[in-house]
């Protein structure tokens, strides 16, 4: 995929956001929780986030589902440990008990009910846009906006999430699932460095031309020299 907001050039993407460590100790990302299944590594990315947002009903999902990631702990203890910094949305899905629980523990609730033209994810990204504008873009480990609960579920919701990637094409947004991630790549040469949990054999790309070294790979029979993906094993 290409993003017209970026001039053609070379871009480096380090996927350390799904591992328990970073290429830079001070690398902290932003985290947005949506209202769908949370990947099993959600606690790991949560611990490395500088700011954690829930998009409306994502707060319900965090409250209800995250205790299941810690079967040996009480649900109440887990909920008290994972409190979002901000809850943003039109708040038509946020349950009163969940709102009260998190608000009592410091969560800021931002009511955007007056805006019925954008999704709750869009509202969260707009909230974060100014924060990322001040981030340096030359670092090996750049701050990203990581979005969990954005893959799968209702197809209209998932397409809406993809649309947000295009609307905010200049921002480093990543949709995360248990076995996949989705990121809008700018036009030009994109180098992706997989780290940690991303060492898996089942990546899938939409490709036109492939070069690789030492890696068995099935490719379409008719290849156009439009793009090149280079795999180095």
Separation in Å, CA 76 to CA 73, 100, 175: 8, 14, 28
188-229 pLDDT tens trace:
887 777 665 444 444 444 444 445 444 544 444 444 344 444
Q: Is residue 9 part of a domain?
A: no
Tell me, yes or no, whether 145 lies in a domain. Answer: yes
**Is the pLDDT assigned to residue 109 strictly greater than 90?**
yes
- Asked if the structure places residue 62 within a domain, the reply is yes
- Counting the structural domains of the chain, the total is 1
pLDDT tops 60 at residue 36: yes
Residue 194 lies in a domain: no
Mean pLDDT of 174-179: 88
Segments forming the whole domain that contains residue 126: 25-184
Q: Rounded mean pLDDT of 53-64?
A: 97
Which CATH number goes with the domain that contains 178? 3.40.50.10240
Distance CA 8, CA 79 (A): 44
Instruction: Specify which of 52-56, 149-153, 223-227 reaches the highest per-range mean pLDDT.
Output: 52-56
75 lies in a domain?
yes
Q: What is the pLDDT of residues 73-93, one digit of tens each?
A: 999 999 999 999 999 999 999
Position 164 in a domain: yes
- With respect to residue 216, please indicate whether it lies within any of the assigned structural domains: no
Q: Is residue 189 part of a domain?
A: no
What is the pTM for the complete model shown? 0.76
């Amino acid at each position: 995929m290409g993003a017209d907001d970026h001039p053609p050039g070379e871009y480096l993407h380090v996927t350390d956001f799904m591992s328990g460590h970073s290429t830079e100790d001070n690398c902290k990302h932003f985290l947005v929780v949506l209202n769908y299944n949370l990947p099993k590594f959600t606690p790991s990315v949560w611990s490395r986030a500088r700011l954690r947002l829930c998009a409306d009903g994502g707060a319900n999902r965090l409250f209800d589902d995250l205790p299941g990631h810690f079967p040996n702990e009480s649900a109440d203890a887990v909920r008290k440990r994972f409190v979002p910094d901000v809850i943003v949305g039109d708040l038509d899905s946020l349950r009163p008990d969940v709102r009260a629980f998190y608000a009592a523990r410091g969560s800021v609730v931002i009511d955007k009910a007056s805006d019925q033209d954008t999704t709750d994810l869009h509202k969260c990204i707009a909230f974060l846009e100014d924060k990322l504008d001040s981030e340096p873009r030359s670092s090996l480990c750049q701050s990203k906006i990581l979005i969990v609960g954005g893959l799968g579920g209702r197809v209209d919701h998932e397409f809406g999430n993809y649309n947000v990637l295009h609307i905010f094409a200049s921002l480093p947004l990543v949709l995360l699932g248990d076995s996949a991630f989705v990121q809008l790549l700018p036009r030009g040469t994109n180098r992706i460095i997989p780290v940690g949990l991303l060492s898996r054999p089942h990546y899938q790309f939409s490709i036109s031309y492939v070069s690789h070294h030492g890696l068995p790979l099935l490719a379409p029979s008719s290849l156009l020299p439009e793009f090149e993906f280079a795999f180095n094993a």
